[in-house]
Structure 1
């Protein structure tokens, strides 16, 4: 029998509910239930049921009510004696777990309670606790239980957000915050949930409402927790539940066998997480299955790490260059940070941010294939809540001695486990020939990698006895022993590899050998065709053979990789001309990138370097969408290609990669862009290619400009301009000068921007590049439109004509956007709407969402002017999401100010104030002074609307000062001040 008080007081038995009776009886039963198993004195019972001043007949009434309660209990459970009387009073002889409130409390107090347990606990609530009961005791108890319920909702929501299920929490949290407008804990978690869903403005609105409520009702400011969440949202520095629960572990291998002792030791060590820092060095020889073991274990214990599992292959023993600590931190932070959050540029800053992101979170971090302690030292968390497993062939002594790591060593498999693995992979033949299977396992050095290769050979030759296969392997090993001068494990491993290759055709062996020279960790069939110098159909066949032989493994859709041990062996396995193979593969990548870019950005083809026709097949791109998809799929490969080219004697290819990709990388992952352009800069400098160095500096400046780092942008762009001038490349000098103009434009310094654009056009006067001129004319016309210059339309129409003749849709869209701004400034709202929409479609057709965001923001401002603030707010929110996703901090200030103006237009002054305040904070931090003035102007209007005239005048004064400093008009402000009086 169970009892409920988290709702109406109810008895349940055998699936039936039993009404307790009138309120006094319910209250008596509730008092006894909440003291389950303990005697409640008569005076206490009377006071809790009738209050501090009970009627004279209270004790007699109590006896009658007790009798009725006992009857109900007997009806629910005939023959029972639940209700007992002793000398002190009455008690219910029940266990606490029979009462819903005790089950609820046990669940939420369990430190190990996860979101499922918390959800089940909340499911015990069936409305208002002690529903229908009144009196001081009932009200006090109801208030206590409600507070416990609120705390449980907050804890459950926090767990859901950590698990990436923020959307499931918003309704419940919103109801809680509306019911309890001063509940800071609930507001903080609701802000986290909204931020996780990309609803930054709504998250900030929650903060503004509770801030005002606390100030108005209590005269206090928000506490530290809520203030910290607010600051983190403003900085885009809050872990986003939708993105902050990475699950990066690779798929577990099939037929995993053994390692029970090592896995048990990993379990034991992981149990310490939360109490002390846990770092495990999983060491062992190549091919021992270190990765397979940690991945197998990680999947089994992933529930212990509800905040996510990070995995990174450091490629410490791969033929290509190992991953640097800086690049590793960049990859890890990309997985942890919300969209739009900046990854710091410096290695030290990245390490600090990484430790901050992991602080207090229960995560598993697998650092696979580490080469040395130095490679992983900066990747270690600073919190004891995480478990770190580092796999390496090195003993990593420094990690043990200096960082307290625990070493778990993987040796050869025990013989029984090795034979078992063969049995799983080969089948009944192992049982039929146990001695031969044992011999085969020994000849494979009892290593999982070599056992799997041997098993594949056995499966491919079903008629050959295992004893014969073991003899063949023994003969191969003897040969290698003689050649290597000793019977060591390495010779045995190489024997298995060589034996595997002997079962392949010469063509397949050559393909395997060629893959050993691939510069990047993953590849597709076209890359194999280039490396091997084979037709595409042949490459498909060869790849199938290599996958079937377990010499190559799938790594995603149509992508593959090779175990680093096999990759190292591959370089000595066949007669491959490495230089020719690399010539072909770089020619393939450069030609394919050029073809893709020509489809996406045809008007800039003249600015990209000419590439040689490849000697191998390239993908056919029916259109721009397919070209973009290929570039997206290969994006992770590009930095490895650039690094290999820059450091392995192909600097020209590193420079060409940067120059080919500069427009595609615009607005994408800035860490990838910086790596590619920086490799190009270093490579060009090393070979004295001043033009290439200047171009890379120009591209780096563009990345910093996009991220709102004005000083870094100007430094790189100015250095580029100086180099271009030095080598006499006037046109490129003009582009660099124009880019500095963009820095001025984004800061709201429009007249200095016009000066730079005018200088750039002067440098272009003898240039035959119409697109470069058109770009600068577009920026010049757009700036002129903002300050009311009559030449704006002429310059923009000239730019549009140049872009149209060149077939440059990207530039054409920007010119249309500039003309839309002119139409908006002149109050030609229909034209502004049409031009913004045309620009949106052009940017969308080439997949340039970062530029599309500016059009969407313009649509929002247009709809505000047309008197459609709700539609305007939708566009500004969409623009804000796009700006955040692409790291465009300047764009964020525009969208936030636009959203503030739309909110004010529809009468929502609280949201207007919040958005302008957020825009002001961001604009001040990024140096966007014109947008800071716009935010002050918006805040002045809001203050005037609410009658706060001192605040209105303060913000009007600030806006006026900035506008005057920027030499922009203050006529509108003077008019509004006159109306304000």
Structure 2
């Protein structure tokens, strides 16, 4: 028998539900249930049910209700519950587990995810539903508060397990009922942040901040304030406030994993030392022995020992393509460890130091798979004893053992019994029917998991063929190879299994297998198979499915595949493949498809990209911009491998073309990938004396450094590009490089030098027919002139807009609109500024350039502040900050932080304003954005003055004035005027400067 309190008062016995009776009767039962097992005095019962003024015959009524309750209990399940009369009152003899409220409280006390989820399942609506009176209302309120706390605890546990999306609905519902619940707001902000909705998290904070101030006259408490600040800094883990990101990078566990008990026991023993000493394990062994499978299987078993996460990277030490350099491996790990948008250091030494810092004190598993040498992994070793590192390699890694105290665990052939067991799991009953032949097959497969799986798949595909015949076929293949290799090479046996497996493919499938061994990148899709083989797409689909079924190719995500490096190396040796022709086709495919995607996204810049011939093989269609973006995003990780292979294997022109085609797409996206692609292009061009290609790549590298706020590196690359273009006689390209240096000046707030550079660039364009290039420079020239009130700003922007429209270049039109919006702001035409910024947002969104969209959104924020709408302004600045941070635009971050500070001050919150401006001062100082540094000091001065901190205000006014004066900006006069209007804030800044 079970009783329900969390909802309407209900009695259940098995599948039957019993009505308790009218409300008074339900209320008496509720009082007894909530004190189950304890005597409730008659006076207490009467007061709780009838209140302080009960009727004269209340005791007689109570007795009548008690009698009816007894009849219901007996009818439901005789003897299961007793309602007894004690000297002092009444007692309901039942166990706590029979009442939902006690089960609810017990589950909440347990506190784990499953228990909390079970607690919430017990909640069936309003507690004590329909019952009147003060006691019922008080009890309802108490239980509702317990429910709110349970929802928050459950959501926190779900978020910690990476299930943030599942919590948003319930938390939103809770806040709909209790809009001032700070705990629920903080957890919902964390959930929104975890699913990539940082702007919504900030907007949620803004709503509760306003509500708390309007209704209670208070500010958000410390917990909510901490979450808010962490979201702003992009330093909030989806797991819990103050905790770092928790990566979970282990690949999926291997199906039918068999054996390796001794190796796993040794890994367990070594893992027990974590926390007491650094634990480094070298898992070594021959190719195909299952080193990766072993460590991945073990890693999944012990992941609870490493609550701070698991890092995994295939270093490709023995793959046909280039091994992963340590600096790239560090970049991959730091990208996983650092909060979204955090800057990955540029140099290898700085990356290694930051990696050790991030892992310090954290209990993590680091798997470095397929290492080629000690040098490849040395920089990837944590400096803490709280982590376990497992390195897999075919090399013995003696230096790692000798110099770093690593423990070696050898993974060799499976014991015969385990090898036969694996065959039994994969093949089935035929192994039991032919045990001797199964053992012989295992021996012929050298008892290695990779070869055993290939043999098993072949056996499954030929169900009518006895195992003895399969063994005879394999023996014949091995005898042939033994003669060729002298019979003493274990690799000959492995290659024999590969040969045996591939020989049973159709001629077309065998050819596809062989040509895939030549593919420059690690992963591929069906279009790549078609390009390599020179086949129709339908044929490539069929062949790829055949190779997957034969375990010669394995899935690596949605519609993507890869090959084991040993199989890929073997495939590259097989077949009479015209490798040059195959690679010609695959590079032609990639270049043509990238060009088509870029034409879909940025049609106005088509003339600036290199001309690419149509591919002979099928290419995916891009009916819309989203299709093009999705394809580029899926292939982004492949591009550096293609560039590296092209640069080092006789295709320098392809490396250069890749860089030039992807220039606009990489602008503001993945900095590490962009630097890799452009740097390979630079090296390839330099090696072959392609000075145009080298200068173009230098220009692209300068742009990446400019975006990241590294002004010195940007100028060095851009000036080198400008010099090369000048020597070549390419004045238009020289003009683009000069204009890019102008952007460095503009971002620093040095507007007059920027205008000089843009003007020089235009002079170099005077004979150029590239309208878009001229339009871009005119746009920047006009926008920069607008910042200082230059009379020519409108003329230059109108000319730029006409050229962009003539070229059909929507991206450029959006930037021109931002220039016009800047003019509207300086003239006080706020309605026009609002319209122009909104139109720019829509255009940038249409072409999918979120990094540029952020600038338009930031402009909307500044406009809303001037319109007297600080709440809307703050939402726009937060959205812009989110986008700037995601795209690594440090200059943009300073603008958004300052804009947010100004919106907070306009909303009457100088303390919040100080927080934002202080962050802007710090960031602007790092990136050299001098005008934004001055703007931040100005904001800090105003905020300090608002709260009466006049010495601090004076100091920041002085700093702002000095920078504005050095830059020659009219804002210095504004500061002088502010102080003249408010002399109580201190002497004029020039008196202190």
TM-score bucket of the superposed structures, by smaller chain: 0.7 to 0.9
Superposed displacement of residue 665, structure 1: 0.3
After superposition, the Cα gap between the structure-2 partners of 1:385 and 1:198, relative to the gap in structure 1 and judged at 3 Å, is farther
* Alpha-carbon distance in structure 2 between the residues aligned to 1:114 and 1:274: 25
Note the aligned Cα RMSD (angstroms).
5.5
Deviations 1:455-480 (A, max 9, x none): 11112212211111111111111111
Deviations 1:229-277 (A, max 9, x none): 99998875675649922222222232x2422424542552364254232
Map of 1:523 onto structure 2: 524
Deviations 1:9-36 (A, max 9, x none): xxxxxxxxxxxxxxxxxxxxxxxxxxxx
Superposed displacement of residue 186, structure 1: 14
Partner-residue secondary structure (3-state), 1:370: coil
Superposed displacement of residue 485, structure 1: 1.2
Superposed displacement of residue 353, structure 1: 1.0
* Alpha-carbon distance in structure 2 between the residues aligned to 1:426 and 1:951: 78
Alpha carbons 2:591, 2:612 under 8 Å: kept: yes
- More deviation in 707-716 or 484-493? 484-493
Partner-residue secondary structure (3-state), 2:379: helix
* Alpha-carbon distance in structure 2 between the residues aligned to 1:802 and 1:452: 63
Alpha carbons 1:554, 1:561 under 8 Å: kept: yes
Counterparts in 2 of 1:460-539, with a 5 A limit?
460-539=461-540
After superposition, the Cα gap between the structure-2 partners of 1:476 and 1:531, relative to the gap in structure 1 and judged at 3 Å, is same
Unaligned runs of 5+ in 2: 1-102, 123-148, 211-220, 984-993
Does residue 740 of structure 1 match 2:738?
A: no
Deviations 1:947-969 (A, max 9, x none): 33443333333322222221111
Superposed displacement of residue 546, structure 1: 0.9
Alpha carbons 1:164, 1:241 under 8 Å: kept: no
Alpha carbons 2:206, 2:871 under 8 Å: kept: no
Superposed displacement of residue 551, structure 1: 0.7
After superposition, the Cα gap between the structure-2 partners of 1:108 and 1:398, relative to the gap in structure 1 and judged at 3 Å, is farther
After superposition, the Cα gap between the structure-2 partners of 1:257 and 1:239, relative to the gap in structure 1 and judged at 3 Å, is closer
* Alpha-carbon distance in structure 1 between the residues aligned to 2:850 and 2:968: 32
Alpha carbons 2:203, 2:875 under 8 Å: kept: no
Superposed displacement of residue 204, structure 1: 12
Map of 1:641 onto structure 2: 642
* Alpha-carbon distance in structure 1 between the residues aligned to 2:450 and 2:913: 62
Alpha carbons 1:258, 1:413 under 8 Å: kept: no
Map of 2:874 onto structure 1: 873
Of 947, 956, 972, the residue aligned with 2:974 is 972
Map of 1:904 onto structure 2: 905
Counterparts in 2 of 1:430-441, with a 5 A limit?
430-441=431-442
Map of 2:360 onto structure 1: 359
After superposition, the Cα gap between the structure-2 partners of 1:841 and 1:782, relative to the gap in structure 1 and judged at 3 Å, is same
Map of 2:934 onto structure 1: 933
Counterparts in 2 of 1:557-636, with a 5 A limit?
557-636=558-637
> With structure 2 as the length reference, what TM-score do the two structures score?
0.80
* Alpha-carbon distance in structure 2 between the residues aligned to 1:863 and 1:267: 60
* Alpha-carbon distance in structure 1 between the residues aligned to 2:155 and 2:547: 48
Deviations 1:469-521 (A, max 9, x none): 11111111111111111143211111111111121122211111110010000
Superposed displacement of residue 330, structure 1: 1.0
* Alpha-carbon distance in structure 2 between the residues aligned to 1:157 and 1:427: 45
* Alpha-carbon distance in structure 2 between the residues aligned to 1:854 and 1:235: 18
Deviations 1:336-376 (A, max 9, x none): 11111111111111111111122222222221111111111
Alpha carbons 1:204, 1:914 under 8 Å: kept: no
* Alpha-carbon distance in structure 2 between the residues aligned to 1:391 and 1:775: 51
Superposed displacement of residue 798, structure 1: 0.8
Superposed displacement of residue 536, structure 1: 1.7
After superposition, the Cα gap between the structure-2 partners of 1:285 and 1:108, relative to the gap in structure 1 and judged at 3 Å, is farther
After superposition, the Cα gap between the structure-2 partners of 1:169 and 1:727, relative to the gap in structure 1 and judged at 3 Å, is farther
Alpha carbons 1:514, 1:532 under 8 Å: kept: yes
Map of 1:137 onto structure 2: none
Map of 1:326 onto structure 2: 327
After superposition, the Cα gap between the structure-2 partners of 1:859 and 1:368, relative to the gap in structure 1 and judged at 3 Å, is same
Superposed displacement of residue 834, structure 1: 1.7
Does residue 305 of structure 1 match 2:299?
A: no
* Alpha-carbon distance in structure 2 between the residues aligned to 1:626 and 1:189: 35
Superposed displacement of residue 190, structure 1: 12
Counterparts in 2 of 1:886-925, with a 5 A limit?
886-925=887-926
Partner-residue secondary structure (3-state), 2:340: coil
* Alpha-carbon distance in structure 2 between the residues aligned to 1:743 and 1:849: 21
Map of 1:856 onto structure 2: 857
Map of 1:672 onto structure 2: 673
- More deviation in 549-558 or 965-974? 965-974
After superposition, the Cα gap between the structure-2 partners of 1:723 and 1:109, relative to the gap in structure 1 and judged at 3 Å, is farther
Deviations 1:112-168 (A, max 9, x none): x977799999999xxxxxxxxxxxxxxxxxxxxxxxxxx999999998775675989
* Alpha-carbon distance in structure 2 between the residues aligned to 1:232 and 1:279: 34
Superposed displacement of residue 286, structure 1: 1.1
After superposition, the Cα gap between the structure-2 partners of 1:791 and 1:240, relative to the gap in structure 1 and judged at 3 Å, is farther
Alpha carbons 2:263, 2:411 under 8 Å: kept: no
- More deviation in 753-762 or 488-497? 488-497
- More deviation in 824-833 or 232-241? 232-241
Map of 1:709 onto structure 2: 710
After superposition, the Cα gap between the structure-2 partners of 1:397 and 1:247, relative to the gap in structure 1 and judged at 3 Å, is same
Partner-residue secondary structure (3-state), 1:379: coil
Counterparts in 2 of 1:203-282, with a 5 A limit?
241=239, 244-254=245-255, 256-262=256-262, 264-265=264-265, 268-269=268-269, 271-272=271-272, 274-276=274-276, 277-282=278-283
Counterparts in 2 of 1:8-87, with a 5 A limit?
none
* Alpha-carbon distance in structure 2 between the residues aligned to 1:235 and 1:961: 28
Counterparts in 2 of 1:310-459, with a 5 A limit?
310-459=311-460
Superposed displacement of residue 861, structure 1: 1.4
* Alpha-carbon distance in structure 1 between the residues aligned to 2:928 and 2:108: 47
Alpha carbons 2:644, 2:680 under 8 Å: kept: yes
* Alpha-carbon distance in structure 2 between the residues aligned to 1:179 and 1:829: 34
Alpha carbons 2:263, 2:409 under 8 Å: kept: no
Name the count of aligned residue pairs. Answer: 950
* Alpha-carbon distance in structure 1 between the residues aligned to 2:154 and 2:464: 60
Unaligned runs of 5+ in 1: 1-102, 125-150, 210-221
Map of 1:685 onto structure 2: 686
Map of 2:696 onto structure 1: 695
Alpha carbons 2:937, 2:956 under 8 Å: kept: yes
* Alpha-carbon distance in structure 2 between the residues aligned to 1:314 and 1:180: 48
Superposed displacement of residue 314, structure 1: 0.9
Partner-residue secondary structure (3-state), 1:307: coil
* Alpha-carbon distance in structure 2 between the residues aligned to 1:818 and 1:727: 33
After superposition, the Cα gap between the structure-2 partners of 1:498 and 1:123, relative to the gap in structure 1 and judged at 3 Å, is closer
- More deviation in 649-658 or 908-917? 908-917
Map of 1:963 onto structure 2: 964
After superposition, the Cα gap between the structure-2 partners of 1:918 and 1:167, relative to the gap in structure 1 and judged at 3 Å, is farther
Superposed displacement of residue 192, structure 1: 8.7
After superposition, the Cα gap between the structure-2 partners of 1:203 and 1:680, relative to the gap in structure 1 and judged at 3 Å, is farther
Partner-residue secondary structure (3-state), 1:664: helix
Partner-residue secondary structure (3-state), 1:953: helix
Deviations 1:571-597 (A, max 9, x none): 111011211211111111111111111
After superposition, the Cα gap between the structure-2 partners of 1:115 and 1:722, relative to the gap in structure 1 and judged at 3 Å, is farther
* Alpha-carbon distance in structure 1 between the residues aligned to 2:501 and 2:795: 71
* Alpha-carbon distance in structure 2 between the residues aligned to 1:309 and 1:250: 10
Does residue 827 of structure 1 match 2:828?
A: yes
Map of 2:132 onto structure 1: none
Map of 1:551 onto structure 2: 552
Alpha carbons 1:854, 1:891 under 8 Å: kept: yes
Partner-residue secondary structure (3-state), 1:617: coil
Alpha carbons 2:172, 2:188 under 8 Å: kept: no
Map of 1:23 onto structure 2: none
